[in-house]
Amino acid sequence: MKRYGDFITSEEDLLLLTTIRKYIDKEVMPVRMQMDEDYAVFEKAYGGLVKLGIQKRGFSQRYGGLGIRSAPTVCALTEEISRGDSGLSLHVLIIPWAMAAAMGARNTTVMDKFIPMFCEDTPRCGCLAITEPAGGCNIEDAAEHGLTIRTTAKLEGDEWVINGEKMWPSGASVADIYCVVCTTDPKLKEEGLALIYVPRDTPGLSFGKPEDKMGMKVTDVNAAIYFDNVRVPREYRAGGPGIDWQLFRNNISWGRLSSAPMALGNAQAVLEIVMEYTSTRSYGGKSVRKHSLQAAMIADMAIGIESARAYYLSVAAMFNNRKKFGNPADDFLMARASAAKVYACDVTEMVCNRAMELMGSYGYVREYHVEKYLRDSKIIQLWLGGGQLGRLDVVQGCYPYVTA
Ligand SMILES: Cc1cc2nc3c(=O)[nH]c(=O)nc-3n(C[C@H](O)[C@H](O)[C@H](O)COP(=O)(O)OP(=O)(O)OC[C@H]3O[C@@H](n4cnc5c(N)ncnc54)[C@H](O)[C@@H]3O)c2cc1C
């Protein structure tokens, strides 16, 4: 595990990382292409990860979880799983992502009711529903103040009544619990944003057909979610006015930070494929890798991966030190989490493109898997505001902190 430098020191965390890498090498790498098409193959691979404790890794020991708190460890685990398949890694991440608001608000009603199922050995799924048919970036853009959210939540007696529609969320229809981004009144701006938990079997909740996508074809299920007078207890709102806005920003910041290792796992796998291929394929009397032109291309791929990894790990270490660096929802860390995602995704795109150039037609065919990593990683660049809003958050939204 040398590639994670000194960012991870706990013996237990290192042991878990080693176990996961071995599992990915043995159980996922040989079936990574089948997993692209066959949900049963994906389910089996995910089931194995659950048995190794990955589903409960971030939850408190009080609920039977492993209580892993280190952000660098969580990010490294994400990279290791993504090296096999980033849809698999996404499935693992959306559970704590969906439950984070309740944990951040210390909402014991929601935590006590829904966290224990994730600490069992049955494979589960969570969902954080942000995006709507009219757009995703505008809801994720703090400059819009929550004004563009169209999914509404009205309090009637002791229940929230939710109406509206979401589009694209990961885990839609397969998740057991949905954390839904709503507004109690758009005019209230940030104070109106509400994060409300909805269990899958709630009357009035229904789903569209799974979307047919370029990558993460079956490993992530994306569909429309419809809310037709969906009623849940008032305690299912994560925090309350203003608190939910902060928790939502926290979700965005964590989501962007975790997207960096998720993308880089793809790049690392592609680099490994390229190293192998260019050492056996030859032209002009020596292997492709021995030619200085191609060697320089591969070196740039490795340098990009190493620097993007070192950067996301250093931001993750800042996430762990709230006293010094503040909250992930604040501008200082939001800017850095956004930079980590933007840079890692750009590096991954460059690595996949270069791999194809280095491998010629063999890079383009399914047999060598580079095209799968390119397809899977592209969406990581596009979600959570894409490279454009990510860049704006580095330079505009968070500008005063660049010189800190
Ligand atoms: C596999 C997959 C998984 C996903 N998972 C989830 C999930 O778990 N939860 C969820 O809620 N959604 C999820 N999504 C949806 C995804 O996050 C959104 O599609 C994405 O954020 C972009 O939103 P959009 O498609 O509506 O594009 P738009 O918001 O319409 O953006 C279109 C273009 O305009 C730019 N743009 C728009 N507004 C702004 C702005 N304010 N500032 C700067 N640029 C802007 C964008 O960068 C982009 O270039 C997922 C999608 C896929 C395909």
Q: Do residue 134 and residue 224 come from a single domain?
A: yes
Q: Do residue 29 and residue 143 come from a single domain?
A: no
The predicted-structure confidence for 277-324, as pLDDT tens digits, reads as follows 999 999 999 999 999 999 999 999 999 999 999 999 999 999 999 999
Q: Of 86, 118, 150, at which residue does a domain stop?
A: 118
Give the model's pLDDT for residue 298: 98
Q: Do residue 229 and residue 282 come from a single domain?
A: no
Q: Do residue 395 and residue 273 come from a single domain?
A: yes
> Has residue 402 got a pLDDT over 90?
no
> Has residue 375 got a pLDDT over 90?
yes
The predicted-structure confidence for 197-223, as pLDDT tens digits, reads as follows 999 999 999 999 999 999 999 999 999
Of 286, 287, 150, the residue nearest 225 (C-alpha): 150
Alpha helices (runs of H) in 105-242, residue ranges in sequence order: 108-118, 137-140
Give the model's pLDDT for residue 404: 62
Q: How confident is the model at residue 242 (pLDDT cuts 50, 70, 90)?
A: very high
How many structural domains are present in the chain?
A: 3
Give the model's pLDDT for residue 200: 97
From the CB of 379, is ligand 1 less than 6 Å away? yes
DSSP state of 400: G
From the CB of 390, is ligand 1 less than 6 Å away? no
> Which ligand 1 atom is at minimum distance from the Cα of 220?
1
Nearest CA to ligand 1 atom 15: 168
By percentage, how much of the chain surpasses pLDDT 90? 96
**Span 354-361, mean pLDDT?**
96
Q: Do residue 21 and residue 157 come from a single domain?
A: no
Q: Of 118, 138, 161, at which residue does a domain stop?
A: 118
Give the model's pLDDT for residue 148: 95
Cα 237 to middle of ligand 1, angstroms:
24
> Which ligand 1 atom is at minimum distance from the Cα of 387?
47
Q: Which CATH number do you get for residue 166?
A: 2.40.110.10
Q: Of 198, 225, 240, at which residue does a domain stop?
A: 240
Q: What is the spatial distance between Cα 95 and Cα 394, in angstroms, rounded to a whole number?
A: 27
Q: Give yes or no for a contact between 90 and 272, defined as CB atoms under 8 angstroms apart.
A: no
Amino acid (one-letter) located at 208: G
The predicted-structure confidence for 150-200, as pLDDT tens digits, reads as follows 999 999 999 999 999 999 999 999 999 999 999 999 899 999 999 999 999
Write out the residue range of the structural domain in which residue 222 sits: 126-240
Q: Look at the alpha carbons of 92, 21, 250, 381 in this order and tell me if their dihedral is positive or negative.
A: negative
Give the model's pLDDT for residue 395: 87
Looking at the whole model, is its pTM more than 0.95?
Answer: yes
Q: What is the spatial distance between Cα 136 and Cα 149, in angstroms, rounded to a whole number?
A: 9
Beta strand 286-287 with 282-283 is: antiparallel
Cα 385 to middle of ligand 1, angstroms:
5
For 336, the token pair is 């850095």
Q: What region, left, alpha or beta, does residue 98 occupy, with left being phi > 0 and alpha being psi -120 to 50 degrees?
A: alpha
The predicted-structure confidence for 19-76, as pLDDT tens digits, reads as follows 999 999 999 999 999 998 999 999 999 999 999 999 999 999 999 999 999 999 999 9
Phi–psi pair at 53, nearest 5 degrees: 95, 5
Q: Do residue 101 and residue 179 come from a single domain?
A: no
Q: Give yes or no for a contact between 259 and 341, defined as CB atoms under 8 angstroms apart.
A: yes
Q: Do residue 177 and residue 298 come from a single domain?
A: no
- Best residue for ligand 1 mutational test, from 86, 89, 168 (most atoms within 8 Å of Cβ): 168
DSSP-based three-state secondary structure for 284:
coil
CA 340 to chain centre: 13
Q: How confident is the model at residue 396 (pLDDT cuts 50, 70, 90)?
A: confident
Give the model's pLDDT for residue 401: 60
Q: Give yes or no for a contact between 373 and 356, defined as CB atoms under 8 angstroms apart.
A: no
DSSP-based three-state secondary structure for 148:
coil
Q: Do residue 253 and residue 232 come from a single domain?
A: no
From the CB of 151, is ligand 1 less than 6 Å away? no
Give the model's pLDDT for residue 36: 87
Q: Do residue 368 and residue 265 come from a single domain?
A: yes
> Which ligand 1 atom is at minimum distance from the Cα of 127?
8
Q: Give yes or no for a contact between 362 and 368, defined as CB atoms under 8 angstroms apart.
A: yes
How many of the other CB atoms lie within 10 Å of CB of 401?
16
Q: How confident is the model at residue 1 (pLDDT cuts 50, 70, 90)?
A: confident
**Span 236-241, mean pLDDT?**
98
Q: Do residue 181 and residue 204 come from a single domain?
A: yes
pLDDT averaged over every residue in the chain: 96
Of 244, 113, 82, the residue nearest 177 (C-alpha): 113
Give the model's pLDDT for residue 253: 97
Q: What is the spatial distance between Cα 380 and Cα 260, in angstroms, rounded to a whole number?
A: 8
From the CB of 168, is ligand 1 less than 6 Å away? yes
Q: Which CATH number do you get for residue 363?
A: 1.20.140.10
Give the model's pLDDT for residue 400: 58
Q: Do residue 249 and residue 373 come from a single domain?
A: yes
Give the model's pLDDT for residue 97: 97
> Has residue 403 got a pLDDT over 70?
no
> Has residue 103 got a pLDDT over 80?
yes
Q: Do residue 59 and residue 24 come from a single domain?
A: yes
